[in-house]
Amino acid sequence: MLYTPSSQHDINLVVDVSVPTRYPEELEKLIKEYSKNKTKNILDKSRDALRWLMQQLEKLHS
């Protein structure tokens, strides 16, 4: 995976979703807003971003 402006967008999406999940009053709203497919997409993008970050760390330490 290469880092691209789209990658930054994906990371921002994860951050935007993660913050409201910390507040119970927002949880019901998020459950209604995020379908199973949308949630799976976010998780997949999160995994891709994490893989990319881990690859960058490996490069720094080799």
pLDDT tens digits for 16-45? Answer: 877 777 777 877 888 888 889 988 988 888
Q: Which range of residues forms the domain containing residue 20?
A: 5-60
pLDDT averaged over every residue in the chain: 82
pLDDT category at 2 given cuts 50, 70, 90 is low
CA 57, CA 62: separation in Å to the nearest integer? Answer: 9
Residue 51 pLDDT > 90: no
pTM of the predicted protein model? 0.68
Task: Please state the domain count of the chain.
Answer: 1
CA 32, CA 52: separation in Å to the nearest integer? Answer: 30
- Cα dihedral 20→23→26→30 (10° resolution): 50
- CA distances in angstroms from 19 to 9, 22, 26, 56, listed in the order given: 16, 6, 10, 25
Instruction: Give residues with Cβ within 8 angstroms of 14, minimum separation 6.
Output: 42, 45, 46, 49
